[in-house]
Structure 1
């Protein structure tokens, strides 16, 4: 099993270009697995972790409801935002500047074959990261992601998650609201869940956070929780 993960920070990159790039990486891993099984080979499959910041974009998961987007095409253009219906799980979410998006493209057969565990460890990665800033994150039963003050009238989401997997290879991932403009969430019903607000690290702390520092903390916890042997910077 190959537990080395190749790390790339794509900085600010268009959503569709990044989606296509993820798809290519996933397909390369899947092709290796198919070739191994057909030809009785043991070539190691790769694992990737991408960081990226997207320009303003709304994305709707495969089971999502388009009515949760509260803007028409003209209004999207006015806000400088784009919209895509995509192949991850979950409903609608927003990505934009000041948000830390992470896409682990892992062959789970290198780690464990359990999608539920994969999502819980991703959540734990974020929970441990924001705890270092004094923010107490938690889970909400039946609602993937990381939340604050669940069980109170002030419940709010700080990190959205949605993934796709094929032959135990994952794509898509998490979006942690660091210094993001929360006003853009007013144009959707986030994750299709009414009556729960969205927050950010900046809003909770009353000051902007150092995004590069947060990324390093995410990687530290990701490496420990997933028992990664080595994170290699690529590109």
Structure 2
């Protein structure tokens, strides 16, 4: 769907922009892993790449070089994905992710961009099990940085729910969609196109669970400001 594709592209651009900011802050002292800007974008604080008191300039430089190389590969992967070259994008992300993890560690916030990009590739290629693993990692990192109710968490959860549903695990996907929808409604409002998209996906899932009346009622009440009305009756 073109709307979903555009949304994924916007998210990848935002995450990779944060990576570019992070590359300029590599040697800055870290007070926290990340800070959420008022605009809704996030800005990373890179911190020391070698750990406190290591003093090993050679290791520092090697890790920085790995980070820079991984960043270039990620940007190339995004360009490949945007032009529809999924195979090229997958190969580039496969090179970039180990370098990011080697340079930054597996839980550094700057890794969310390539994680989400690689997950988008796997989803586009129908490799939903692999996409699910990466989307769950993105959701975890976002939650650690921004809290449980942040829209970045909601977006990652919506992507996770979609991949879980595409594997036929509808019951599990239902709970994830409910949390994602609640975050979208509380953060963006019920009329935001991103909220409507999650609502429609969740309604489609309810239909697959033979809960058509709930699905139709959910769509009919889509303009209601009450999350309890939208989710309460389908939560059982």
Q: What's the TM-score once normalised by structure 1's chain length?
A: 0.28
Larger radius of gyration between Structure 1 and Structure 2: 2
Q: Which has the higher contact order (CA 8 A, sep 6+)?
A: 1
Q: TM-score, normalised by structure 2?
A: 0.28
Q: Name whichever structure is richer in helix by fraction.
A: 2
